[in-house]
Amino acid sequence: MAKLYFKYGAMGASKTAQALMCKFNYEQKGFQVFLFKTLLDNRTVKNGKGLVHSRIGLESECIEFSKNFSFIAYFNNQKFDKDKSVIIVDECQFLTKEQVDELKILSLQIPVLCYGLLTNFKTELFEGSKRLVELAESLTEIKSVCRCGRKATINARFINGKIATSGEEVMIGADETYEGLCFACYKKLIDEK
């Protein structure tokens, strides 16, 4: 059934791996999958093409989008079967409010599955995530584990081994920069700062 899905989790929750497994499952059933990721994440490019890459080694070429990208305009110029197509967006927290609105309109025709973070390292909602919470018919938390074993809910940023509480919202990084923590461990590190 065509609708807008938002699958979110803290750093290390396997969001990208799940997006790529979902893509594989749809393709195995004969669907045309339009896989998107933000141009902000330029760490993974292969042969000049954008690549969605997970920490466990799964990867796939993708369509990259910028803040000015129009999903409606893109799909107005694409041939696709409404009954056998799907849109998957990785790192959906970087979508603009307007882009989420466009994806909502497209979800009236084909399924749109968005994978990403809910909050930034300051524990505030990203613009794209906020709008997805407001519009998605399906919200699913992908759980991850803190270093202490509790559920990770905070996307902690580390700079030179120290927890960061200020700075630009967007700083692309992975395990070297971010760690999913529970609130208790996050608060303890803040208090020790």
Domain that holds residue 136: 4-143
Model confidence pLDDT, tens digit, residues 34-81: 999 998 766 655 556 788 878 788 888 999 999 999 999 999 999 889
Q: Is residue 185 part of a domain?
A: no
pLDDT number for residue 98: 98
| pTM score over 0.75 | yes
**Does some domain include residue 167?**
no
**Is 149 a domain residue?**
no
170 belongs to a structural domain:
no
Residue 178: what pLDDT? 85
pLDDT in tens, 88-147: 999 999 999 999 999 999 999 999 999 999 999 999 999 999 999 999 999 999 999 999
Residue 171 is predicted with a pLDDT of 64
Confidence of residue 173 (pLDDT cuts 50, 70, 90): low
Residue 31's CB is within 10 A of a number of other CB atoms, namely 18
Residue 86 lies in a domain: yes
Question: At residue 152, what is the residue type?
Answer: A
β-partners of residue 7 are 115, 140
Q: How many domains does the chain have?
A: 1
Q: Which one of the listed residues 61, 64, 91, 176 is annotated catalytic? A: 91
> Do 144 and 152 meet the contact criterion of CB atoms below 8 Å apart?
yes
CATH of the domain at 15: 3.40.50.300
Q: Is residue 173 part of a domain?
A: no
- Asked if 19 and 117 touch (Cβ cutoff 8 Å), the reply is no
Q: Which of 101, 116, 124 is nearest to 36 (CA)?
A: 116
Residue 156 lies in a domain: no
Tell me the per-residue pLDDT of 3-17, one tens digit each, with 9 for 90 and over. Answer: 999 999 999 899 999
Active-site residue 137, yes or no? no
